[in-house]
């Protein structure tokens, strides 16, 4: 109930904020969608056959190609942060994640 309430409040805040911001035209880029889907599929395959840490790194580096700028250092920092969160989930919450 608490998580649902927080998500509801976040949703209300997003709607209220959208009422006061300028509208931006929606752009549809099939290439970027294909890159993101490829990154997700690669994450699953790499996690299955190697380990999840390698899958996270793969996902970050592939998905970053869909952006407007590409920075290896930024990708390393993001991957490190996601790996730290996954380790926290595994060790702190006891989730069965095949990280290594």
- pLDDT tens for the chain, 100 residues long, are 888 999 999 999 999 999 999 988 888 889 999 999 999 999 999 999 999 999 999 999 999 999 888 899 999 999 999 999 999 999 888 888 888 8
Instruction: Report if residue 13 sits inside a domain.
Output: no
Cα 92–Cα 96–Cα 98 angle in degrees, nearest 5: 110
| Contacts of 75 by beta carbon, 8 Å cutoff, 6+ apart | 60, 61, 64
**Domain hosting residue 78, numbered range:** 28-92
pTM over 0.75: no
Domain-located, residue 86: yes
Total number of domains constituting the chain: 1
At 1 the pLDDT is 87
Give domain status of residue 47, yes or no.
Answer: yes
Q: Do the domain assignments include residue 87?
A: yes
Q: Report the pLDDT value the prediction gives residue 49, as an integer from 0 to 100.
A: 94
Which H helix or E strand runs over 33?
helix 30-49
């Amino acid at each position: 109930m608490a998580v649902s309430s927080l998500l509801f409040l976040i949703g209300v805040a997003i709607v209220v904020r959208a009422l006061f911001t300028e509208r931006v035209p929606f752009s549809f880029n099939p290439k970027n969608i294909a890159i993101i889907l490829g990154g997700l599929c690669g994450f699953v395959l790499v996690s299955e056959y190697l380990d999840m840490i390698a899958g996270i790194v793969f996902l970050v580096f592939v998905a970053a190609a869909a952006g407007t700028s590409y920075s290896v250092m930024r990708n390393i920092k993001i991957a490190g942060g996601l790996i730290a969160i996954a380790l926290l989930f595994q060790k702190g919450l006891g989730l069965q994640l095949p990280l290594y």
